[in-house]
Amino acid sequence: MSEIIKVGMADLKVCVSPDAVTTLGLGSCVGIAIRDPITKIGGLAHIMLPDSTQIKNNSNIPKFADTGIVELVRQLVALGANQGRLVAKIAGGAQMFAFQNKSDMVRIGDRNVEATKKKLSELKIPVLAQDTGDSYGRTVVFYPETGDFVIRAVGKEQRVI
Amino acid sequence: MANLDLETVSQEYYDVLKELGNIGAGNATTALAQMLQCKVDMSVPQVRLLNFQDVASLMGGEEQLMAGIYLGVDGDITGSIMFLLEKGSARHLVSKLMGMALEGEDFSEMEMSALQEVGNIITGSYLNSLSSLTGLCVYPTIPSLAVDMAGAILSVPAIEFGTLGDKILLIQTQFFDEIQLDGYFILIPDLESYGKILSSLGIM
């Protein structure tokens, strides 16, 4: 019996097919789905901020794009995934409000997406698809079996990337 | 104040926020009653420091549809505030305000604008009480409105709090007219502003 494992905000989870991972209501945060297509081991991280080195209180590893991705990869490899085969898909990074006042908080969604792609490229993990930006929330489900990344948004057709 | 940690805010500070929530909600209730021209009651607000995850579940889950009004604060203290209202409650308020039943599931442009005004009045009431309690000058910026999943809307204040810690400071207020309306108020001052609020109240 397959299970869909829930990932909270500033959280990450790994699983083996046929299980899947999901996170609900991604806003400016980014959901990073990574899998090994051969072993069908996959995982999902829900990061909130781009860079742990900019923040004093940075002990919460899954909260940041840089540390969260490294930890997700570490857990995938520990579960038996081959790091050289890992591929990623990303979603989220919306700007929920037309303007957000604090200068460093402007475009936080975009900055999360940029930081995510930068870290993935450092780790030589290709980004196969992305559904990012815009101004609406997304619920995502990731199936390590097929690599399907299902994206739902309010008042929109479900998409699979 | 740079090393202020949200997790260690004192009991006095909670009491102050609770009182602030109380006065703010009282002002907001009066304003709402005037606007809707009917009697509106409120419950005593609850102030809580919650983990990110728990805030959404309190509102009925990450996928619960909410209306969120978000605006910046300028003046002696800077930061931002957000008021959240469950979508059904928001529709109820808007239909009362406009004196007619709403059609369809979504808000029209006119209804969005009415909702923005409701948010304006409610957040303005809170800011007024903050200002009169502390004697600090506080100016709101133009509000911005989003109707979406609770998780997505909450990601904005969560990220701002996220630079400080893993918790969010939430003031929950219930309003009643014919139905119960659950409102949530999130105050996000910058680090330095926390200090200013506390010292102007003689706590630090």
Question: CA–CA distance from B121 to each of B31, B35, B192 (Å)?
Answer: 7, 9, 26
How many beta carbons lie within 10 A of that of residue B197, not counting itself? 25
Asked if B52 and A9 come within 8 Å (Cβ–Cβ), the reply is: yes
Asked if A101 and B158 come within 8 Å (Cβ–Cβ), the reply is: no
From chain B, pick out residues whose CB is under 8 angstroms from the CB of A11: 53
- A131: domain range? 4-160
**What's chain B's average pLDDT?**
79
What tens digit of pLDDT does each residue of B98-133 get?
877 777 777 788 888 888 888 888 888 888 888 888
Number of domains in chain A: 1
Asked whether the beta carbons of A138 and A159 are under 8 A apart, the reply is: no
Domain map of chain B by residue range? 6-200
Q: Is the pTM of this model over 0.90?
A: no
> Is A29 among the residues known to form the active site?
yes
Asked if A27 and B72 come within 8 Å (Cβ–Cβ), the reply is: no
- Residue A3 predicted with pLDDT over 80: yes
Token pair in block for residue A142? 């990731």
Mutate to test the interface with A, among B82, B83, B163, B168 (most CBs of A within 10 A): B163
User: Among A10, A26, A49, whose Cβ lies nearest the Cβ of B152?
Assistant: A26
ipTM of the shown complex: 0.85
Fill in the amino acid letter for B98.
M
Q: What is the pLDDT of residue A104?
A: 52
Is A58's Cβ below 8 Å from some Cβ in B? no
Is B35 or A25 the better-scoring residue by pLDDT?
Answer: A25
Residue A151: give its domain's CATH number: 3.30.1330.200
What tens digit of pLDDT does each residue of A88-123 get?
999 999 988 876 544 555 688 889 999 999 999 999
Is A49's Cβ below 8 Å from some Cβ in B? yes
The catalytically annotated residue of A15, A21, A29, A86 is A29
User: Among A48, A60, A154, whose Cβ lies nearest the Cβ of B159?
Assistant: A48
- Residue B192 predicted with pLDDT over 60: yes
Q: What is the pLDDT of residue A150?
A: 94
Q: What is the pLDDT of residue B3?
A: 44
Q: What is the pLDDT of residue B50?
A: 80
Single out the residue of A160, A158, A155 nearest to residue A143, CA to CA. A160
Q: What is the pLDDT of residue B1?
A: 37
Q: Which CATH superfamily is domain B6-200 in?
A: CheC-like (3.40.1550.10)
Q: How confident is the model at residue B171 (pLDDT cuts 50, 70, 90)?
A: confident
